[in-house]
Chain A
Amino acid sequence: MKKSVFLGTLAATTVLSGAVFAATLDDVKARGELICGANTGLTGFAAPDANGEYQGFDAALCKAVAAAVLGDPTKVKFVPLTGETRFTALASGEVDLLVRNSTWTYSRDTDLKFDFVAVNYYDGQGFMVKKDLGVASAKELDGATVCIQTGTTTELNLADFFKSNNITYTPVTVVDDTEAANQYLAGACDAYTTDASGLAATRATLADAENHIILPEIISKEPLGPVVRHGDNNWGDIVRWTYYALLIAEEKGITKANLEEVAASTTDPETRRLLGLEGEMGVMMGLDNNWAKNAIAVSGNYGEIFEANLGTSTPIGLARGLNALWTQGGLQYAPPVR
């Protein structure tokens, strides 16, 4: 009798675990909602607006995936995650997809069993200090107290940077950007370090932004991108190609405004394949053929999303830099839809 209990439990757990971790696409379709792990609040990337709806560069990608999979960009639930909780949430299946300016690293990719499907923002770590501190370079920060988000790659880069420059610092660990900004403003630390884009976003929310400067040193490579669980390749493909669809749209000049017009008149074979006018591209991933069209319709192509949330016309004011298309000297490059 005991043996049958064992076998029964074994069978049950195997079935259960299989169901949880294999076909994310089927889960999302059955649920009718995409659950997306997002930042607890980083203006420009993912932060709730006045109506409590998530807006931003990362949030737009979640909405595009929801549109590609479910045909409706509003069917996405954002789960706010800190640097500490994000990977546990993804690994446990609490979220289907993590788009939370997370850095692609070797050990996260291999040991933590995740897949970084693309790089949606090429970033690097920087420092922000108050102007009246009189510091012009990060190498002058000997003996300073530095606010640092725990559980991040920046925590390790910081230690490496100070060590390689033979200078010392005192770390103050914080859990998210909001707490970091509070501690930094209260003077609990002399400098705040995180991804340069995050610094720009935090600086934009400060009342006296002109009194804070971002130091010129970029001390690391921080390729940020959407993350999925290892082992569900089809789901990884869907997220990856939704992102590439936004890039190809920018390359082909397809915008939110002219999407319908292009779809009606285009003769370019790749554009026709992308928009589902010919071929069975969507079906190959288990989606509708107009998946890419739906994704682009949400908030436009990659360039439009960048300009609307982070670009020079916003308070954050980031230039495209490395994130320009490869045709314009940047690193953003999508493989062909064929």
Chain B
Amino acid sequence: MAMVSDAPKGNFRLSMLVYDTRYRSFTIQVIVLGLFIAFVAWLLLNLQANLAAKDKDISYSFLFNRAGYDIDQQLIPYTNDSTHGRALFVGLFNTLAVSIAACFAATLIGVTAGVLRLSKNWIVGRLMTVYIEVFRNVPLLLWILLAFSIFAQVMPEPKDFKVTQEMVDQGLEPPAQKIFFDSIAITNRGTNVPAPLLDRPLGSVSVLDVPINLSVLAAIAVIWGSFWVNGRIRASAKAIQEDTGIRPVTWWKSLLVLIVPTTALLLALGFHLEVPAFAADENGVSKGFNFVGGISLAHSFTALFLALSIYHGTYIAEAVRGGILAISRGQTEAAYALGLRPNRTMNLIILPQALRVIVPPLISQYLNITKNSTLGMAISYLDLKGTLGGITLNQTGRELECMLLMMLIYLILSLTISLGMNIFNNSVKLKER
């Protein structure tokens, strides 16, 4: 007995588009789509008409013109003779540098603070609560400005590190000294750290105008190789332990494998550190305005990095705490019943399960860190917003082009992070079979 009758055929009327439930949803969707297209078209026509009224066009040719300005922090070679397009990449790499560093630091801070907030130790738990509530409830921009002004106001000027003729005559020390065995100088402009230098470098190859340092590649390969060999040694030790019940002594093999090849490579390349210092004449009197040699990390980077990681660390801490609380108490009790210590219970039983809950909010925090790095413009950190959306935009006057391009780049960046983290999420989430 057929319960569903066939639809009546052949007598379609226009009014059925509104009154017949089979067609009504189509009608509504077509209307909504039409309105949406009309809205987009209106925006585009508006843009076109306004550009025409101002006698302007849309052109990205400026990206290939000489930029003419200088950038103080650069991860790829750049001079004022380079193009605006290259300045864009310098900014993009600065964005990536501060975002990636802050993502790592925020995760470390967040996981630690989140776990500690659940501590049974009253003082530790409350301290973490205070940290989270204080940092989470003050706008990020204020933390960035605070961190920057502390560096800029409290630290000595570079000239305070200089040795003058009077000091040489009277055997006095300059008012400010370098720290860490006379190697790191923190001034009110930046942190000058020693730079690794090679006497016999392997040279570099240029890929797409970006030089790739072969020495660094060789070092990475050697270190990775040592870790791989070390892994093999441990695996074979484990196999022997499972066969015979006796674990062979491996620590000296591991130590040898991990240290000797890297050290040998560094010695072969003539590795040494270049300590930042003022140029000096034969009497030891300092010359010049700034430290020479070493790597100078501007405070705009340090302040942005610190503020981003501490601020977003609080959100990650809350996500971690929520994740841990989501794991039933029975898991901990079962682990204790097996004789696992609290440390191992947390690392082996609770955190791996909690990851399923923690990872999705973690993705959004990583996205937020990347996007919030644009706040660096308040302290003149030349990230993508500073180069493409700041100086290039102002010097070329191509506001629309720069803004659209910048939005597109941030969109791609966020989608990439999102994709990567979703792949990770799929690998840790509960496998349902």
A169 within 8 A of B: yes
Q: Which residues of B have CB within 8 Å of A9?
A: 41-42, 45-46
Contact A144 B391 (CB under 8 A): no
Residues of the B chain whose Cβ atoms lie less than 8 Å from the Cβ of A143 = 288-290, 292
Query: Are the C-beta atoms of A13 and B289 separated by less than 8 Å?
Result: no
A186 and B152 contacting across the interface, CB-CB below 8 Å: yes
Say yes or no: B397 contacts A150, CB within 8 Å: no
Query: Does B188 touch A at the CB level, under 8 Å?
Result: yes
> A144 with B289: in contact, given A2-B38, A6-B38, A151-B394 (CB under 8 Å)?
yes
Give how many B residues have a beta carbon under 8 Å from the other chain's beta carbons. 41
Cβ contact within 8 Å between B41 and A6 = yes
- A9–B48 CA distance with the chains assembled, in angstroms: 12
Contact A145 B290 (CB under 8 A): yes
C-alpha spacing A231/B189, complex, angstroms:
46
| Residue A187 is within 8 A (CB to CB) of chain B in the complex | yes
A186 and B153 in contact (CB under 8 A), knowing A9-B42, A84-B394, A173-B382?
yes
Closest A residue to B53 by beta carbon equals: A17
CB–CB B394/A173 < 8 A: no
Decide if A20 is an interface residue (CB 8 Å cutoff): yes
Is B282 part of the binding interface, using a Cβ–Cβ cutoff of 8 Å?
A: no
- The proximity string for A residues 10-22 relative to B, scoring 1 for CB distances below 8 Å and 0 otherwise, is 1001100110110
Residue from the list A108, A144, A159, A186 in contact with B290, Cβ < 8 A: A144
A181 to chain B, nearest CB (A): 14
CB neighbours of A172 from chain B (8 A): 72, 189, 380
A143-B292, A159-B80 known; A151 and B391 CB under 8 Å? yes
Q: How large is the interface on A (under 10, 10 to 19, 20 to 34, 35 or more residues)?
A: 35 or more
A189 contacts across to B, CB distance below 8 A: 189
| B331 interface residue per 8 A CB criterion | no
A91–B54 touching, CB < 8 Å: yes
B68 within 8 A of A: yes
Interface assignment of B199: CB less than 8 Å from any CB of chain A: no
The total of Cβ contacts below 8 Å across the A-B interface reads 117
Residues of B close to A158: CB separation below 8 A? 70
Inter-subunit contact B290/A150 (CB<8 Å): no
Say yes or no: is B399 at the interface (Cβ < 8 Å to chain A): yes
| Residues on A with beta carbons closer than 8 Å to the beta carbon of B394 | 83-84, 87, 150-151
Give 1 or 0 for each of B55-76: 1 = CB within 8 Å of chain A CB: 1100000000000111110000
Roughly how many angstroms separate A190 CA and B250 CA in the complex, as a whole number?
57
Known A6-B41, A170-B72; judge A113-B55 contact (CB<8 A). yes
**A83 contact set on B, CB distance < 8 A:** 394
- Whether A88 sits at the interface, judged by CB under 8 Å, is yes
Say yes or no: A171-B70 contact (C-beta < 8 A), given A108-B397, A186-B188, A230-B55: yes
Q: How far is the CB of B118 from chain A (nearest CB, A)?
A: 43
Task: Kindly state the separation between the CA atoms of A13 and B188 in the bound complex, as whole angstroms.
Answer: 52
Taken together as a complex, chains A and B put the C-alpha atoms of A188 and B18 apart, in Å, by: 70
Which of A18, A170, A174 has the most B CB atoms < 10 Å from its CB?
A170
Closest chain B residue, CB of each to CB of A152: B394
A322 close to chain B: CB less than 8 A: no
Instruction: Confirm or deny: A163 has a beta carbon within 8 angstroms of a beta carbon on chain B.
Output: yes
Q: Are A112 and B397 in contact (CB under 8 A)?
A: yes
A230 to B289, CA, bound (A): 45
Q: Which residues of B contact A174 (CB under 8 A)?
A: 380
CB of B416 closer than 8 Å to a CB of A = no
What's the nearest-Cβ distance from chain B to residue A140, in Å?
10
Q: Chain A residues with Cβ under 8 A from B203's Cβ? A: none
B34 within 8 A of A: yes
Q: Output the nearest chain B residue to A15 by Cβ-Cβ distance.
A: B49
- Is B157 an interface position by the 8 A CB rule? yes
The contact string, 1 if C-beta is below 8 Å from chain B, for chain A 154-187, is 0110111001000001111110000000010011
Q: How far is the CA of A17 from the CA of B46 in the complex (A)?
A: 9
Task: Please give the residue numbers on chain B whose beta carbons come within 8 Å of chain A beta carbons, in ascending order.
Answer: 34, 38, 41-42, 45-46, 49-50, 52-56, 68-72, 80-81, 152-153, 157, 159, 188-189, 288-290, 292, 296, 380, 382, 386, 390-391, 394-397, 399
Residue pairs across A and B with Cβ atoms less than 8 A apart, 10 shown, are A5-B42, A6-B45, A17-B52, A87-B397, A113-B55, A113-B56, A133-B289, A144-B289, A156-B395, A170-B296
Ordered nearest first, which 4 A-B pairs have the shortest CB separation? A151-B394, A17-B53, A187-B157, A159-B80
**Residues of A participating in the B interface, judged by any CB pair closer than 8 Å:** 2, 5-6, 9-10, 13-14, 17-18, 20-21, 83-84, 87-88, 91, 107-108, 111-113, 133, 141-145, 150-151, 155-156, 158-160, 163, 169-174, 183, 186-190, 229-231
> What would 5 more interface pairs be, CB under 8 Å, given A133-B159, A188-B188?
A6-B45, A13-B49, A150-B394, A155-B395, A169-B70
